[in-house]
Amino acid sequence: MNITLKLSLIVPMYNEGSNISYFYNRITKVLENIGYRYEIICINDGSKDDTMQRLTELNKKDNRVKIINLSRNFGKEIAMSAGLKAAKGDAIIPIDADLQDPPELIPELIDKWLAGYDVVYATRTKREGETWTKKATAKLFYKFMRKITNIDIPADTGDFRLMSRRVVDALNQLPEHHRFMKGLFSWVGFKQIGISYQREPRHAGKSSFNYWKLWNFAIEGITSFSFAPLKMSSYLGLIVSFLSVLYMLFLIVRTIFFGNEVPGYPSLMVAILFFGGVQLMSLGFIGEYVGRIYNESKRRPLYFVSEQIGFDEEEPISNKDKIVRISR
Ligand code: UDP
Ligand code: MG
Protein backbone atom coordinates (compact mmCIF):
# COMPACT_ATOMS: atom_id res chain seq x y z
CA MET A 1 0.00 0.00 0.00
CA ASN A 2 1.37 3.37 -1.02
CA ILE A 3 -0.26 6.20 0.86
CA THR A 4 2.01 8.85 -0.61
CA LEU A 5 0.56 8.67 -4.10
CA LYS A 6 -2.77 10.22 -4.85
CA LEU A 7 -5.25 9.54 -7.62
CA SER A 8 -7.70 12.08 -8.98
CA LEU A 9 -10.77 10.88 -10.80
CA ILE A 10 -12.45 13.40 -13.05
CA VAL A 11 -16.12 12.67 -13.63
CA PRO A 12 -18.14 15.03 -15.85
CA MET A 13 -21.83 14.63 -15.14
CA TYR A 14 -24.79 15.80 -17.10
CA ASN A 15 -28.11 14.38 -15.92
CA GLU A 16 -26.50 11.36 -14.32
CA GLY A 17 -28.66 11.27 -11.18
CA SER A 18 -29.72 7.69 -11.86
CA ASN A 19 -26.11 6.54 -12.16
CA ILE A 20 -24.44 8.24 -9.22
CA SER A 21 -24.89 5.76 -6.39
CA TYR A 22 -24.02 2.78 -8.60
CA PHE A 23 -21.03 4.67 -9.92
CA TYR A 24 -19.87 5.59 -6.43
CA ASN A 25 -20.16 2.04 -5.09
CA ARG A 26 -18.38 0.44 -7.97
CA ILE A 27 -15.59 2.98 -8.14
CA THR A 28 -14.87 3.08 -4.40
CA LYS A 29 -14.62 -0.70 -4.32
CA VAL A 30 -11.85 -0.48 -6.92
CA LEU A 31 -10.11 2.49 -5.33
CA GLU A 32 -10.14 1.03 -1.84
CA ASN A 33 -8.40 -2.06 -3.15
CA ILE A 34 -5.68 -0.02 -4.78
CA GLY A 35 -4.91 1.64 -1.46
CA TYR A 36 -3.70 5.01 -2.72
CA ARG A 37 -5.15 8.23 -1.43
CA TYR A 38 -7.74 9.49 -3.86
CA GLU A 39 -10.26 12.16 -4.70
CA ILE A 40 -13.30 11.85 -6.94
CA ILE A 41 -13.92 15.19 -8.58
CA CYS A 42 -17.46 15.30 -9.94
CA ILE A 43 -18.30 18.15 -12.25
CA ASN A 44 -21.97 18.89 -12.43
CA ASP A 45 -22.32 20.25 -15.95
CA GLY A 46 -25.60 22.09 -15.50
CA SER A 47 -27.70 18.96 -15.00
CA LYS A 48 -31.47 19.36 -15.03
CA ASP A 49 -32.11 16.36 -12.79
CA ASP A 50 -31.15 15.61 -9.19
CA THR A 51 -27.44 15.09 -9.92
CA MET A 52 -26.39 18.00 -7.70
CA GLN A 53 -28.50 16.93 -4.68
CA ARG A 54 -27.21 13.40 -4.89
CA LEU A 55 -23.62 14.58 -5.16
CA THR A 56 -24.04 16.85 -2.15
CA GLU A 57 -25.41 13.94 -0.10
CA LEU A 58 -22.49 11.82 -1.21
CA ASN A 59 -19.99 14.50 -0.22
CA LYS A 60 -21.47 14.61 3.29
CA LYS A 61 -20.89 10.88 3.59
CA ASP A 62 -17.45 10.82 1.99
CA ASN A 63 -15.37 13.97 1.70
CA ARG A 64 -13.18 12.42 -0.97
CA VAL A 65 -16.08 13.16 -3.29
CA LYS A 66 -15.55 16.74 -4.37
CA ILE A 67 -17.99 18.74 -6.42
CA ILE A 68 -17.57 21.49 -8.95
CA ASN A 69 -20.95 22.87 -9.87
CA LEU A 70 -20.70 24.74 -13.16
CA SER A 71 -22.98 27.71 -13.69
CA ARG A 72 -24.67 26.05 -16.68
CA ASN A 73 -24.16 23.24 -19.19
CA PHE A 74 -20.80 23.84 -20.88
CA GLY A 75 -20.35 20.44 -22.51
CA LYS A 76 -18.23 17.48 -21.59
CA GLU A 77 -14.92 18.85 -22.86
CA ILE A 78 -15.14 21.99 -20.76
CA ALA A 79 -16.44 20.10 -17.73
CA MET A 80 -13.45 17.84 -17.97
CA SER A 81 -11.11 20.81 -18.26
CA ALA A 82 -12.58 22.22 -15.05
CA GLY A 83 -11.88 18.92 -13.34
CA LEU A 84 -8.32 18.72 -14.65
CA LYS A 85 -7.62 22.21 -13.30
CA ALA A 86 -8.84 21.24 -9.84
CA ALA A 87 -7.15 17.83 -9.65
CA LYS A 88 -4.36 17.53 -7.11
CA GLY A 89 -3.39 13.91 -7.72
CA ASP A 90 -0.16 12.42 -9.00
CA ALA A 91 -2.15 10.50 -11.55
CA ILE A 92 -5.37 11.79 -13.04
CA ILE A 93 -8.10 9.66 -14.59
CA PRO A 94 -11.10 11.08 -16.47
CA ILE A 95 -13.96 8.60 -16.45
CA ASP A 96 -17.61 8.72 -17.59
CA ALA A 97 -20.30 8.60 -14.93
CA ASP A 98 -22.34 6.06 -16.90
CA LEU A 99 -19.61 3.44 -16.30
CA GLN A 100 -19.18 2.63 -19.94
CA ASP A 101 -15.52 2.60 -19.03
CA PRO A 102 -14.97 -0.15 -16.45
CA PRO A 103 -13.22 1.23 -13.35
CA GLU A 104 -11.87 -2.28 -12.75
CA LEU A 105 -9.29 -1.38 -15.38
CA ILE A 106 -7.72 1.30 -13.20
CA PRO A 107 -5.17 -0.97 -11.47
CA GLU A 108 -3.93 -2.00 -14.90
CA LEU A 109 -3.60 1.64 -15.92
CA ILE A 110 -1.66 2.33 -12.74
CA ASP A 111 0.73 -0.55 -13.37
CA LYS A 112 1.69 0.92 -16.72
CA TRP A 113 2.03 4.37 -15.17
CA LEU A 114 4.36 3.02 -12.48
CA ALA A 115 6.33 1.38 -15.26
CA GLY A 116 7.10 4.84 -16.56
CA TYR A 117 4.38 5.81 -19.01
CA ASP A 118 2.83 9.28 -18.80
CA VAL A 119 -0.40 8.49 -20.58
CA VAL A 120 -2.07 5.10 -20.44
CA TYR A 121 -5.20 5.10 -22.57
CA ALA A 122 -7.82 2.43 -22.80
CA THR A 123 -8.83 1.28 -26.27
CA ARG A 124 -12.22 -0.33 -26.83
CA THR A 125 -12.23 -3.66 -28.55
CA LYS A 126 -15.97 -4.16 -28.40
CA ARG A 127 -18.73 -1.63 -27.93
CA GLU A 128 -21.84 -3.14 -26.52
CA GLY A 129 -25.18 -1.39 -26.64
CA GLU A 130 -24.15 0.95 -29.42
CA THR A 131 -25.67 0.94 -32.88
CA TRP A 132 -23.56 -0.18 -35.83
CA THR A 133 -24.02 3.22 -37.45
CA LYS A 134 -22.39 4.89 -34.45
CA LYS A 135 -19.55 2.39 -34.55
CA ALA A 136 -19.11 2.82 -38.30
CA THR A 137 -19.14 6.62 -38.20
CA ALA A 138 -16.71 6.62 -35.29
CA LYS A 139 -14.36 4.36 -37.19
CA LEU A 140 -14.55 6.52 -40.28
CA PHE A 141 -13.88 9.64 -38.24
CA TYR A 142 -10.72 8.27 -36.59
CA LYS A 143 -9.42 7.11 -39.95
CA PHE A 144 -10.09 10.52 -41.51
CA MET A 145 -8.50 12.36 -38.58
CA ARG A 146 -5.37 10.29 -38.83
CA LYS A 147 -5.14 11.06 -42.54
CA ILE A 148 -5.52 14.81 -42.37
CA THR A 149 -3.82 15.75 -39.12
CA ASN A 150 -0.28 15.05 -38.09
CA ILE A 151 -1.17 14.03 -34.58
CA ASP A 152 -1.90 10.40 -33.93
CA ILE A 153 -5.20 10.03 -32.12
CA PRO A 154 -5.55 6.36 -31.20
CA ALA A 155 -8.68 4.83 -32.76
CA ASP A 156 -11.58 3.69 -30.60
CA THR A 157 -10.20 5.46 -27.59
CA GLY A 158 -12.37 7.71 -25.48
CA ASP A 159 -11.38 10.04 -22.70
CA PHE A 160 -10.89 7.19 -20.25
CA ARG A 161 -7.17 7.11 -19.52
CA LEU A 162 -4.60 7.74 -16.87
CA MET A 163 -2.40 10.80 -17.11
CA SER A 164 0.62 11.71 -15.06
CA ARG A 165 0.88 15.00 -13.22
CA ARG A 166 3.09 16.59 -15.85
CA VAL A 167 0.73 15.74 -18.68
CA VAL A 168 -2.15 17.38 -16.84
CA ASP A 169 0.05 20.38 -16.02
CA ALA A 170 0.72 20.65 -19.76
CA LEU A 171 -3.00 20.36 -20.59
CA ASN A 172 -3.83 23.03 -18.03
CA GLN A 173 -1.59 25.44 -19.87
CA LEU A 174 -3.61 25.22 -23.05
CA PRO A 175 -5.86 28.26 -23.16
CA GLU A 176 -8.06 27.42 -26.14
CA HIS A 177 -11.82 27.45 -25.95
CA HIS A 178 -12.36 24.89 -28.65
CA ARG A 179 -11.17 21.95 -26.68
CA PHE A 180 -11.13 18.72 -28.56
CA MET A 181 -9.75 16.82 -25.59
CA LYS A 182 -8.93 13.57 -27.36
CA GLY A 183 -6.77 15.52 -29.77
CA LEU A 184 -5.15 17.58 -27.05
CA PHE A 185 -4.36 14.49 -25.00
CA SER A 186 -2.31 13.20 -27.92
CA TRP A 187 -0.95 16.57 -28.91
CA VAL A 188 0.86 17.19 -25.60
CA GLY A 189 2.98 14.13 -26.27
CA PHE A 190 5.00 12.34 -23.56
CA LYS A 191 5.28 8.59 -23.33
CA GLN A 192 1.94 7.05 -24.23
CA ILE A 193 0.67 3.50 -24.33
CA GLY A 194 -2.69 1.81 -24.80
CA ILE A 195 -4.39 -1.17 -23.24
CA SER A 196 -7.61 -2.68 -24.57
CA TYR A 197 -10.97 -3.35 -22.98
CA GLN A 198 -14.60 -3.95 -23.88
CA ARG A 199 -16.89 -0.97 -23.76
CA GLU A 200 -20.07 -1.69 -21.87
CA PRO A 201 -23.53 -0.29 -22.48
CA ARG A 202 -24.66 2.63 -20.35
CA HIS A 203 -25.73 1.61 -16.84
CA ALA A 204 -28.81 3.87 -16.85
CA GLY A 205 -30.12 6.98 -18.55
CA LYS A 206 -29.38 7.72 -22.16
CA SER A 207 -26.47 9.09 -24.15
CA SER A 208 -26.60 12.82 -24.65
CA PHE A 209 -24.67 12.60 -27.87
CA ASN A 210 -26.90 12.55 -30.93
CA TYR A 211 -25.62 12.55 -34.49
CA TRP A 212 -25.79 16.31 -34.83
CA LYS A 213 -23.62 16.68 -31.73
CA LEU A 214 -21.21 14.05 -33.00
CA TRP A 215 -21.01 15.77 -36.38
CA ASN A 216 -20.12 19.05 -34.67
CA PHE A 217 -17.67 17.19 -32.49
CA ALA A 218 -15.99 15.87 -35.62
CA ILE A 219 -15.79 19.34 -37.16
CA GLU A 220 -14.30 20.57 -33.89
CA GLY A 221 -11.66 17.90 -34.04
CA ILE A 222 -10.77 18.58 -37.64
CA THR A 223 -10.61 22.37 -37.38
CA SER A 224 -8.65 22.24 -34.12
CA PHE A 225 -5.86 20.21 -35.59
CA SER A 226 -5.81 20.67 -39.31
CA PHE A 227 -5.97 23.21 -42.10
CA ALA A 228 -6.79 20.46 -44.57
CA PRO A 229 -10.26 21.79 -45.51
CA LEU A 230 -8.80 25.22 -46.31
CA LYS A 231 -6.06 23.62 -48.34
CA MET A 232 -8.59 21.40 -50.03
CA SER A 233 -10.61 24.38 -51.19
CA SER A 234 -7.59 26.10 -52.65
CA TYR A 235 -6.55 22.94 -54.49
CA LEU A 236 -10.09 22.42 -55.69
CA GLY A 237 -10.10 26.01 -56.94
CA LEU A 238 -6.78 25.44 -58.68
CA ILE A 239 -7.94 22.26 -60.39
CA VAL A 240 -11.22 23.82 -61.48
CA SER A 241 -9.50 26.91 -62.90
CA PHE A 242 -7.02 24.75 -64.74
CA LEU A 243 -9.82 22.71 -66.28
CA SER A 244 -11.70 25.85 -67.25
CA VAL A 245 -8.64 27.24 -69.02
CA LEU A 246 -8.48 23.99 -71.01
CA TYR A 247 -12.17 24.32 -71.79
CA MET A 248 -11.64 27.94 -72.89
CA LEU A 249 -8.84 26.92 -75.26
CA PHE A 250 -11.07 24.19 -76.63
CA LEU A 251 -13.87 26.74 -77.23
CA ILE A 252 -11.51 29.19 -78.95
CA VAL A 253 -10.14 26.51 -81.26
CA ARG A 254 -13.60 25.22 -82.00
CA THR A 255 -14.87 28.72 -82.83
CA ILE A 256 -11.95 29.37 -85.17
CA PHE A 257 -12.48 26.16 -87.11
CA PHE A 258 -16.21 25.63 -86.93
CA GLY A 259 -17.62 29.09 -86.24
CA ASN A 260 -19.72 30.12 -83.28
CA GLU A 261 -22.87 28.23 -82.48
CA VAL A 262 -25.22 30.02 -80.13
CA PRO A 263 -26.40 27.09 -78.01
CA GLY A 264 -24.48 26.72 -74.78
CA TYR A 265 -27.11 27.22 -72.16
CA PRO A 266 -26.69 23.81 -70.44
CA SER A 267 -22.91 24.06 -70.17
CA LEU A 268 -23.25 27.63 -68.90
CA MET A 269 -25.75 26.61 -66.28
CA VAL A 270 -23.64 23.67 -65.15
CA ALA A 271 -20.57 25.87 -64.83
CA ILE A 272 -22.42 28.55 -62.85
CA LEU A 273 -23.98 26.09 -60.47
CA PHE A 274 -20.77 24.18 -60.02
CA PHE A 275 -18.73 27.26 -59.26
CA GLY A 276 -21.45 28.59 -57.01
CA GLY A 277 -21.26 25.38 -55.04
CA VAL A 278 -17.49 25.34 -54.86
CA GLN A 279 -17.40 28.95 -53.73
CA LEU A 280 -20.04 28.51 -51.06
CA MET A 281 -18.29 25.44 -49.76
CA SER A 282 -14.93 27.20 -49.61
CA LEU A 283 -16.53 30.14 -47.87
CA GLY A 284 -18.05 27.71 -45.40
CA PHE A 285 -14.66 26.17 -44.67
CA ILE A 286 -13.16 29.60 -44.14
CA GLY A 287 -16.15 30.52 -42.00
CA GLU A 288 -15.57 27.57 -39.69
CA TYR A 289 -12.07 28.82 -39.00
CA VAL A 290 -12.97 32.51 -38.81
CA GLY A 291 -15.72 31.68 -36.33
CA ARG A 292 -13.24 29.85 -34.18
CA ILE A 293 -10.74 32.71 -34.38
CA TYR A 294 -13.57 35.01 -33.33
CA ASN A 295 -14.45 32.81 -30.38
CA GLU A 296 -10.86 32.53 -29.22
CA SER A 297 -10.26 36.24 -29.61
CA LYS A 298 -13.02 37.06 -27.14
CA ARG A 299 -10.81 35.58 -24.43
CA ARG A 300 -13.71 34.69 -22.22
CA PRO A 301 -13.09 32.43 -19.25
CA LEU A 302 -13.67 28.80 -20.18
CA TYR A 303 -16.43 28.30 -17.63
CA PHE A 304 -17.93 29.69 -14.47
CA VAL A 305 -18.20 27.76 -11.24
CA SER A 306 -21.25 28.46 -9.16
CA GLU A 307 -20.22 26.27 -6.25
CA GLN A 308 -17.25 24.21 -5.15
CA ILE A 309 -17.72 21.65 -2.45
CA GLY A 310 -15.03 19.71 -0.62
CA PHE A 311 -11.95 21.48 -1.89
CA ASP A 312 -10.97 23.60 1.13
CA GLU A 313 -9.91 20.90 3.58
CA GLU A 314 -6.75 19.35 2.24
CA GLU A 315 -6.23 16.10 4.09
CA PRO A 316 -3.14 16.30 6.34
CA ILE A 317 0.05 14.87 4.93
CA SER A 318 2.80 13.90 7.34
CA ASN A 319 6.28 15.33 6.83
CA LYS A 320 7.59 11.99 5.71
CA ASP A 321 4.98 11.91 2.94
CA LYS A 322 5.95 15.35 1.78
CA ILE A 323 9.58 14.39 1.33
CA VAL A 324 8.63 11.35 -0.70
CA ARG A 325 6.26 13.42 -2.80
CA ILE A 326 8.88 16.00 -3.64
CA SER A 327 11.57 13.51 -4.50
CA ARG A 328 9.30 11.74 -6.98
N1 UDP B 1 -21.50 14.90 -20.20
C2 UDP B 1 -21.25 16.17 -19.68
N3 UDP B 1 -21.79 17.27 -20.32
C4 UDP B 1 -22.54 17.16 -21.44
C5 UDP B 1 -22.75 15.86 -21.98
C6 UDP B 1 -22.21 14.76 -21.33
O7 UDP B 1 -20.58 16.32 -18.67
O8 UDP B 1 -22.99 18.18 -21.96
C9 UDP B 1 -20.92 13.71 -19.51
C10 UDP B 1 -21.92 12.61 -19.19
O11 UDP B 1 -22.55 12.85 -17.97
C12 UDP B 1 -21.03 11.38 -19.13
C13 UDP B 1 -19.98 11.67 -20.19
O14 UDP B 1 -19.99 13.09 -20.37
O15 UDP B 1 -20.41 11.22 -17.88
C16 UDP B 1 -20.23 10.94 -21.49
O17 UDP B 1 -21.53 11.25 -21.96
P18 UDP B 1 -22.45 10.21 -22.72
O19 UDP B 1 -22.50 8.93 -21.98
O20 UDP B 1 -23.76 10.90 -22.93
O21 UDP B 1 -21.69 10.04 -24.09
P22 UDP B 1 -21.31 8.70 -24.89
O23 UDP B 1 -20.83 7.70 -23.90
O24 UDP B 1 -22.53 8.28 -25.59
O25 UDP B 1 -20.23 9.14 -25.84
MG1 MG C 1 -21.69 7.13 -22.27
SS3 string, 122-134, reads EEEEEECCCCHHH
Mutate which of 9, 23, 41, 76 for ligand 1 pocket (most atoms within 8 A of beta carbon): 76
Q: What pLDDT shows up at residue 208?
A: 66
* Alpha-carbon radius of gyration of the chain: 26
The ligand 1 atom at the shortest distance from the C-alpha of residue 13 is: 11
* 209 pLDDT tier (thresholds 50, 70, 90): low
Query: Percent of the chain at pLDDT above 70?
Result: 88
Q: What pLDDT shows up at residue 262?
A: 67
Between 312 and 7, the higher pLDDT residue: 7
Q: List the beta bridge partners of residue 39.
A: 8
Mean pLDDT of the 36-58 span: 91
Q: 138: Cβ below 6 Å to ligand 1?
A: no
* 277 pLDDT tier (thresholds 50, 70, 90): confident
Contact 14, 76 (CB under 8 A): yes
Per-residue pLDDT for 43 more than 90? yes
d(CA 96, ligand 1 centre) in Å: 7
Mean pLDDT of the 157-183 span: 86
Q: What pLDDT shows up at residue 91?
A: 92
Q: What pLDDT shows up at residue 322?
A: 40
Q: 159: Cβ below 6 Å to ligand 1?
A: no
Starting from the CA of residue 209, give the closest ligand: 1
Per-residue pLDDT for 42 more than 90? yes
Q: What pLDDT shows up at residue 234?
A: 75
* Predicted confidence (pLDDT) per residue in 309-324, tens digit: 888 755 544 444 443 4
Mutate which of 96, 220, 303 for ligand 1 pocket (most atoms within 8 A of beta carbon): 96
* Predicted confidence (pLDDT) per residue in 108-140, tens digit: 899 989 998 999 988 877 666 667 777 787 778
Q: What pLDDT shows up at residue 243?
A: 83
Nearest CA to ligand 1 atom 12: 96
Between 93 and 247, the higher pLDDT residue: 93
Q: 75: Cβ below 6 Å to ligand 1?
A: yes
Mean pLDDT of the 1-25 span: 86
Q: What pLDDT shows up at residue 204?
A: 64
Residues around the ion ligand 2 (C-beta < 5 A): 96, 98, 100
* 200 pLDDT tier (thresholds 50, 70, 90): low
Q: 13: Cβ below 6 Å to ligand 1?
A: yes
* 165 pLDDT tier (thresholds 50, 70, 90): very high
> What is the Cα 16 distance to its own chain's centre?
19
Per-residue pLDDT for 201 more than 70? no
Nearest CA to ligand 1 atom 8: 75
Q: What pLDDT shows up at residue 139?
A: 79
* 67 pLDDT tier (thresholds 50, 70, 90): very high
Q: What pLDDT shows up at residue 265?
A: 65
